[in-house]
Amino acid sequence: MAGDASETGLIKFVQPLLLGGETGCFDEGGLDGIREKYPMMKGVDGVDAIIPFSSDIKFNLLIRDMNTNVKRATKEEDNSCVFMKGAPERVLSRCNTVLVDG
């Protein structure tokens, strides 16, 4: 499993919660299946769209293609998705809305 120790720990914690049922994302080949279905976006230079974690910036960020069959998305579910994790003050300072209770 790729990632640092805290990422691996988080994934191992939620995996049992996501097995089966309505979410069932791990029925799609586990974590590797999800990564294959939603690959990293590439920059114009062909490099993965990712900002790796560093203690200087205190977050990491990656962009995944949520529908590889659509190149010019017109619907929300066909867009790319930004995933960011890190220190709360670094993540929240980059948000302009917050979803509370659904």
Cβ atoms 63, 49 nearer than 8 A: yes
**E strand spans, 1-102:** 50-51, 59-65, 80-86
d(CA 97, CA 90): 15
Q: What is the mean pLDDT of the chain?
A: 79
8 or 39, greater pLDDT: 39
pLDDT over 70 percentage in the chain: 72
**For residues 44-68, b (16+ Cβ closer than 10 Å) or e, as one string?**
eeeeeeeeebeeeeebbbbbbbbee
37 or 58, greater pLDDT: 58
Residue-wise pLDDT tens digits, 50-97: 999 899 999 999 888 888 887 777 777 678 888 888 999 999 999 998
Q: Residue 1 has what pLDDT? A: 46
73 or 26, greater pLDDT: 73
| CA-only gyration radius of the chain, Å | 15
Q: Residue 4 has what pLDDT? A: 64
What is the average per-residue pLDDT within 4-10?
Answer: 70
| Domain range list for the chain | 1-28, 38-102
Query: 3-class SS at 58?
Result: coil
